Amino acid sequence: MCLGEMGAIDPGRLELDVKSELHRLVGTSNTNKPLEYEEDDEMAFQLISSHLLPAFRAARDTRGQDRAAFAIQEVLKLCGCTEQTPVVLAERRAAKEAAKGRKRKTQKNLPSEVKRGVRFWRRFSEDVRELMMPFLSSQYVLQAPSTQPRVPIYPGSKDYQSWVSTWAATLIQRVKGPQADLFQTCRGVVKDDLNTAHFLLPYLVLSVLRYGGEEDNAAICAEFLAVLEDPSRGKSPSAKNERSLDERSQMNTATIFSLIDLLNNSGTKNKPSDVEHVEQLLAQIPQLTLAQASLRCRTYTRALLHFELHLRKEINLDTNRSQVALQTGSGEILAVNSSLMQKIYTGLDEPDGLKGIATLRASNTLRDHIVDLENSGKWRDAFMCYDQRTSRTRSDVNCLLNLGQLETMLNLVTAQLASHRPDRYEAVLMSYGVQAAWRLGKWDILHKFLSPHLRRSGLPDTNSLSLTNSTSASSVETLGDSPLDFEVAIGGLVSAIKRQDDTLFQKLLEKTRAEVMGVLSAASMESYQRAYPYITKLHMLHGTATNNTCNRAELLRDWQHLTVWYARAELEQSFGLSSTGDG
């Protein structure tokens, strides 16, 4: 809600260190800082204060709270804290006060482990020490897992959190080295708390690479490749599951790229053997795979970087090749990969690059020509090309949306849906229908298109409701788990405002915000630019919520609302025509 209220500030207006956002996740602020702490106690302090205590407070059930409590209890033990630690600290403070004015201190020497515990305990505030006091004498026990899940974990995981938590728990079972005991304390809490799993994941990967055997390193490589190649994308999912699979893939892939960046950045300051382990891991991942995965995540700059590295390897630039052979070989490779390059430069909004790619193709297909026209903002010419095709697709509809021909677009969507052809893009077409209907103010048609989407998400059938009657609170008390397309959600919110149905509006608003935040959490691992489209969605949701608080007559009188809206709009990024052409 705070992000939406702040607004989607144009990234060009902000001075941002792109990679510094990655290190926020692991408690480091310097992008060149090694991925490790100088002392184990420093990492333990960061772990308790920033992750375990928040996890303990925010636990949803007793099992999650017990796992967090066990982790805190065991970390305190590892750092030398016992029931006597607070007593010793109080005695030393009293002795220090009593010794004021004396020339010689009379404090007795303490064993090193006791001193360590006192130093560690003293770092926490009084409130935190009071909260942790019971853990100094608690007897929580957590049974060690008897089996390890099948590697790689990603293909069998049901969602993003289950993948991250299961992978972190599996790495904890494999980890060795001096920090193994510290990691073992969190083997339970990572299953419940995603923030703790995120924090530990890069340290676990580096530790397994450093101290593990060939089998352990192969397991990490297999997990990386499973996510980057994402075999689930080739299974032709149904329309209702396609978007959720795409978002899940983006979140998992963004996490892998964050790990790769952290490992690369930490390698410059770590031991030579650590650098070697990281390089061996990354060498097993093809650059083309990284480029294609980056493209799926819509991180086009990264995709271009990895694609260029792939080309250099393929072309094999060496001093023995003649310049003519070099140009011939590179031209052939570029021609073969022209489709991938076209997608990358489309995402980068580089019209000059797209023109250059067009000259490399052996032959231009109608689809290639259409893409070139769309990226040049020539939507009318692109639609004329679509007319040459024998069958209509969702791209035709997208073209009409960019032309602003909403009536024609609505008629085309209605005609395609009325044909009753089995189409995996039926939900996408209905989403376009929702966009056109609410913009045109055709409320009956809007309700018709909204109904199947809202029913799938656990909301009531809007066709069964009049335009004036509000939905009862009980009918929308619990929402379904099916994801809701953002454009459909906006249409549903506008419909709820029209019917003055505050209960439905609030439930739908909460669900949509939660879904946007789920994807934003992964996108924000990389950069503000990567997260910007999702912050824009929160911006839109906040504006819709603000509009719901006042009717039109009040809004016209309330210049404060209008002034704020205009100011927020000025801070937004100005999108080019091609940026709206994502089919």
Domain spans, the chain: 154-324, 441-580
Q: Is the pLDDT of residue 247 over 80?
A: no
CB 190, CB 165: distance < 8 Å: yes
The number of residues in the chain equals 583
- Sequence-distant (6+) residues with CB within 8 A of 18 are 526, 527, 528, 529
| Distance between CA atoms of residues 133 and 119, nearest Å | 15
| Distance between CA atoms of residues 219 and 88, nearest Å | 46
| Distance between CA atoms of residues 155 and 163, nearest Å | 9
| 368-412: pLDDT as tens digits | 777 777 766 777 777 777 665 645 566 677 788 878 888 988 888
| Distance between CA atoms of residues 26 and 34, nearest Å | 11
Structure-model confidence comparison of residues 575 and 209, the more confident one: 209
Closest CA to 348 of 307, 395, 320, 402: 307
| 298-326: pLDDT as tens digits | 888 899 999 989 888 877 654 444 444 44
Mean pLDDT across the chain, nearest whole number? Answer: 75
| 489-514: pLDDT as tens digits | 899 998 888 888 888 888 889 888 88
Q: Is 345 exposed, middle or buried (CB count within 10 Å of its CB: 0-12, 13-18, 19+)?
A: buried
Q: Is the pLDDT of residue 26 over 90?
A: no
The beta-carbon contacts of 363-371 under 8 Å, at least 24 apart in sequence, are: 368/339, 368/342, 370/395, 371/342, 371/346
Reply yes or no: is the peptide bond before residue 202 cis, omega within 30 of 0.
no
| 474-492: pLDDT as tens digits | 333 333 334 457 888 899 9
Q: Is 368 exposed, middle or buried (CB count within 10 Å of its CB: 0-12, 13-18, 19+)?
A: middle
Per-residue model confidence (pLDDT) at position 430: 82
Q: Could you identify the residue written with the tokens 């490589």?
A: 221
